[in-house]
Amino acid sequence: MSAWTYLRGEDYVAPAVVEALLAVAGVRDVLPAYDSTLVEHDPTTLTAEAVARAADAAGEAAPAGSGRLVTVPVHYGGEHGPDLDEVARRAGLTAAAAARLHAGGEYVVRAVGFSPGFPFLAGLPPALATPRRPEPRRRVPAHSVGVAAGQTGVYPVASAGGWNLIGRSTVAVYDPRRDDPFLLAVGDRVRFAAAGEGPGSLAGPAPARSTSPAPVPPDPEPLELLPSDPHLPALAVVAPGLLDLVVDAGRLGQGRFGLARGGPLDAPAARLANRLVGNEPDAPLLELTLTGPVLRALAPCVVAVTGPALAPVVGGEAAPPYTSLALAAGDELRFAPTGVGARSYLALAGGVASRRFLGSASVDLRGLVGRPLRAGDVLGRAAERRAVAGRGFVPHGGARRGAGPFGSVTTLRLLPGPQHEPEAWAALTGAPFEVSAADRVGVRLAGAPVPGGEVTSEGVPVGAVQVPPGGSPIVLLADRGTLGGYAKPALVHPADLPRLAQLRPGDRVRFVAAARG
């Protein structure tokens, strides 16, 4: 279980403070933003007061000076910058003059988020400040340079977005296949240069890192994590399920680069599956969503299936969930949906063999790290491990733990959020909501409108109840964007996140205030 502590003030965003906090025992992640830093920590070993003291001490000891100076060449206008003419018109400039103005300044990376590697840059000349587009584009090309209000930034990957596009960079600000995936970090200084003109003279106390002008690079490709020829092959994927992902404890300590923690959404169920086959609790395993894959055993192995959504079927016969199962070579393992909950977990004795990215085997679809299973994949064991078949443990509530059938009401406890207001709290706790959509990013709720709106972008905790101006709450899960600009009047109690993760469209939710103490 995690606690989240906000540190308010620009001093806490300093790179030296962020790095110092990451070195504190009990700190799990640090998310710096414009004028705040969100610290995820273990509440049993580190209090909010201790987090603040560590940040203050780090700030006092931080060396003076600024970050690196990085030059980013840009192809301005035309097909690369379809909104440059409009930005220039609003500024009373020609497109060429607007491009020169944008490239003539020096910017500071104030935050990295929205998507992995996306830099929020302060220092945009006031004449170029332009409101976001009234209707966001469904697809902004990777490497697009945009402006919105008083900031500029670079889209690392293709995504939806509402910024005004004025050009495209000739360098990738994020590429998971690169030795250094992130071009920019909080505190770095940035200068843009029109591609073809060269970076020019870069003066300053910090060394510059520049690149030669080049064509716009292709979109970053996902990083493959599953080995193509595992040393200990165990299971062949005959057919994939809806969404089968390798997960472990998650990617800790990387939030400052915009990477979500990820990992299993129902962590207790995942840990139990690993325990049943003798693995360490956070060993890599499979998270299965709504439907499961069809697998064929390539060698004798032991597996366990936990979570409410799926029941195992071995050789056409129903097998017990929450129990370690011995598979013989050639056995076919299928999964029968129970109609209850959204996710189940499949652990393999020895763990699922997988490469790691920044310390974790967890797939991150938004970050282009890994991918879902597909037909023809071979899952290997990470290590030899003796496991006993027939070991079982059914949690309180049995297979129904964590979720109810369609139409039931799931009660979730709320804690006050960073934008806690009585009106929003009353709306959240006043009547049930219905789940309108759910995925690994979050759960969208329909019901009576909740007061919300925009705030300065800041770190977003897992479990935050985020309320856009329209008033429909979204409860954010492990794959959420690390930064957000909407009000968060409440947080779901960390102990209730596994139940939240098992909700499906059509389920109903009632929020209640968590008991104090």
DSSP-derived letter for residue 62 is P
State mean pLDDT over 458-484.
Answer: 94
| Joined tokens for residue 398 | 């049995």
Nearest to 116 by CA among 251, 22, 267, 282: 251
Nearest to 40 by CA among 255, 187, 247, 266: 255
> How many angstroms separate the CA atoms of 86 and 164, rounded?
9
Q: For residue 207, what pLDDT is reported?
A: 37
**pLDDT tens profile 119-167:** 999 999 999 999 988 888 999 999 999 999 899 999 999 998 999 999 9
Nearest to 347 by CA among 401, 268, 279, 251: 279
Looking at residue 413, its amino acid is: R
Q: Helices marked H in 72-204 — which ranges?
A: 84-91, 95-103
Q: For residue 387, what pLDDT is reported?
A: 87
pLDDT band at 325 (very low <50, low <70, confident <90, very high): very high
Angle at 58 between CA 53 and CA 64, to 5 degrees: 145
Q: For residue 15, what pLDDT is reported?
A: 86
Considering only the C-alpha atoms of the chain, give the largest distance between any 2 of them, rounded to a whole number of Å: 75
List strand residue ranges (DSSP E) for 162-293, in order: 164-169, 189-194, 208-209, 233-239, 244-247, 285-289
**pLDDT tens profile 50-68:** 999 999 998 887 666 667 9
239 to 80, 243, 284, 376: CA distances (angstroms): 40, 11, 20, 8
Q: For residue 315, what pLDDT is reported?
A: 94
Q: What burial class does residue 63 get, using C-beta atoms within 10 Å of its C-beta: 0-12 exposed, 13-18 middle, 19+ buried?
A: exposed
60: helix, coil or strand?
helix
Q: What burial class does residue 86 get, using C-beta atoms within 10 Å of its C-beta: 0-12 exposed, 13-18 middle, 19+ buried?
A: middle
Nearest to 143 by CA among 190, 183, 98: 183
pLDDT band at 397 (very low <50, low <70, confident <90, very high): low
- The distance of Cα 425 from the centroid of its chain, to the nearest Å, equals 26
Q: For residue 196, what pLDDT is reported?
A: 66
Most confident of 21-35, 319-333, 388-402: 319-333
What does DSSP say about strands 144-148 and 343-348: parallel, antiparallel, or unpaired?
Answer: unpaired
Q: For residue 517, what pLDDT is reported?
A: 58
State mean pLDDT over 194-221.
Answer: 58
On whether the CB atoms of residues 140 and 155 are closer than 8 A, the answer is: yes
Q: For residue 142, what pLDDT is reported?
A: 96
Reply yes or no on whether the pLDDT at 168 is more than 90. yes
Terminal-to-terminal C-alpha distance of the chain: 16
Reply yes or no on whether the pLDDT at 504 is more than 90. yes
State mean pLDDT over 243-269.
Answer: 96
Q: What is the mean pLDDT of the chain?
A: 91
Sign of CA dihedral 212, 215, 219, 223: negative
Q: For residue 173, what pLDDT is reported?
A: 97
Q: For residue 334, what pLDDT is reported?
A: 98
| Joined tokens for residue 323 | 């129990």
Q: For residue 204, what pLDDT is reported?
A: 30
State mean pLDDT over 444-472.
Answer: 93
List strand residue ranges (DSSP E) for 324-469, in order: 324-327, 332-337, 343-348, 378-380, 409-416, 433-438, 442-446, 454-459, 464-467
List strand residue ranges (DSSP E) for 240-328, in order: 244-247, 285-289, 294-297, 301-306, 310-314, 317-318, 324-327
Q: For residue 351, what pLDDT is reported?
A: 98
Reply yes or no on whether the pLDDT at 400 is more than 80. no
State mean pLDDT over 208-214.
Answer: 51
Reply yes or no on whether the pLDDT at 214 is more than 90. no
On whether the CB atoms of residues 358 and 259 are closer than 8 A, the answer is: yes
**pLDDT tens profile 282-293:** 999 999 999 999
